[in-house]
């Protein structure tokens, strides 16, 4: 477990999570008890003036068992978010996997935070990193629009055009930067380099450079991106051999669709 998440103390995190749940349970019980005392003292009149905390996300009252469960799930959701961020495991994820986790966390649809659930989840994701790696290549390719002549319908060429990379008001879009992160991760690995740290990914680098407001072009090591007012990003690859290797991954999933690479 320490090999999977070296920067996070799992036992300490679980202890803190359990301590938070214990305090919330006590607060819930005290609030319920207070309302019961009020009903004894003031009768039916107190029912219209019940003390309650309300979850703004679900609208449910904290004093109900369902509302209490919602709050505990929210604690677990934030704990999983912290684990994925601090452990570096998000580095292995393609945009599809990140999107599923982000959606589950937003809906508090996550497993209870225990050592067993952490080990099972992280081990499964670590074992699937190869699949996520290839899925990142395929996902970016499928996202290409064939409305542009620059985009080749059967392979990655020297240049590609990705839509919805930026927004004229907010700058870099998360959706677009995730696609760029998929490409960067793949090209780092194909080049024999460590996978880039997700906290220093495309979104952070491009936002820090105020792209595309301050500069139409930005160099992301393996390719440059030129921004346009319509939100598109025009990518120019700088390593043709690595592009061939990405095309080999496409050929693995779509046999016979691509010509032989320069490797051969």
Give CA–CA dist 122/2, Å, rounded.
11
Q: Give the orientation angle of helix 65-87 with respect to helix 115-127, to 10 degrees.
A: 50
Pairing of strands 171-172, 166-167: antiparallel
Return the number of other C-beta atoms located less than 10 Å from residue 204's C-beta: 14
> Residue 217: what are its φ and ψ, rounded to 5°?
-115, 140
> Residue 159: what are its φ and ψ, rounded to 5°?
-130, 150
Give CA–CA dist 117/49, Å, rounded.
41
Name the 3-class secondary structure at 229: coil
pLDDT for res 26: 92
- Longest Cα pair distance anywhere in the chain, in angstroms? 87
pLDDT for res 169: 79
Return the number of other C-beta atoms located less than 10 Å from residue 211's C-beta: 23
Q: What is the mean pLDDT of each run of 10 residues along the chain (264 residues)?
A: 60 92 90 80 62 63 78 90 79 79 88 91 82 82 71 79 84 85 87 76 86 83 90 92 90 65 49
pLDDT for res 264: 46
Cβ-Cβ contacts under 8 Å for 260 (sequence gap 6 or more): none
Q: Within 13 A of 34's CA, how many CA atoms are on the CB side?
A: 12
pTM higher than 0.85, yes or no? no
In the numeric block, which tokens belong to residue 111? 């497993």
Q: Where are the domains of the chain?
A: 10-127, 131-253
Question: For tokens 């067993």, what's the residue?
Answer: 116
Chain segment 182-235, per-residue pLDDT in tens: 888 889 888 988 777 766 788 888 888 888 787 778 999 899 999 888 888 899
pLDDT for res 46: 54
Strand partners of residue 167: 171
Give CA–CA dist 198/176, Å, rounded.
14
Strand partners of residue 227: 233
pLDDT for res 44: 64
């Amino acid at each position: 477990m320490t090999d999977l998440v070296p920067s996070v103390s799992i036992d300490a995190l679980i202890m803190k999570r359990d301590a938070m749940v214990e305090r919330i349970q006590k607060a819930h019980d005290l609030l319920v008890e207070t309302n019961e005392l009020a009903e004894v003292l003031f009768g039916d009149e107190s029912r219209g003036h019940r003390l309650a905390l309300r979850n703004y996300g679900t609208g449910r009252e904290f004093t109900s068992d369902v509302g209490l469960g919602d709050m505990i799930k929210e604690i677990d959701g934030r704990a999983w978010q912290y684990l994925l961020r601090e452990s570096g495991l998000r580095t292995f994820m393609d945009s599809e996997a990140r999107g599923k986790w982000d959606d589950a966390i937003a809906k508090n649809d996550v497993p209870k935070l225990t050592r067993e659930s952490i080990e099972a989840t992280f081990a499964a994701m670590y074992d699937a990193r190869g699949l996520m790696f290839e899925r990142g290549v395929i996902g970016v390719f499928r996202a290409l629009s064939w409305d542009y002549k620059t985009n080749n319908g059967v392979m990655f060429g020297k240049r590609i055009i990705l839509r919805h990379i930026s927004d004229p008001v907010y700058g870099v879009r998360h959706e677009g930067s995730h696609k760029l992160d998929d490409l960067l991760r793949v090209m780092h690995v194909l080049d024999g380099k460590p996978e880039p740290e997700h906290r220093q990914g495309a979104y952070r680098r491009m936002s820090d450079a105020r792209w595309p407001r301050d500069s139409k072009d930005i160099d992301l090591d393996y390719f440059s991106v030129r921004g346009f007012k319509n939100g598109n990003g025009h990518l120019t690859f700088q390593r043709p051999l690595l592009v061939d290797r990405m095309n080999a991954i496409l050929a693995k999933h779509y046999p016979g669709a691509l010509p032989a690479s320069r490797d051969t």
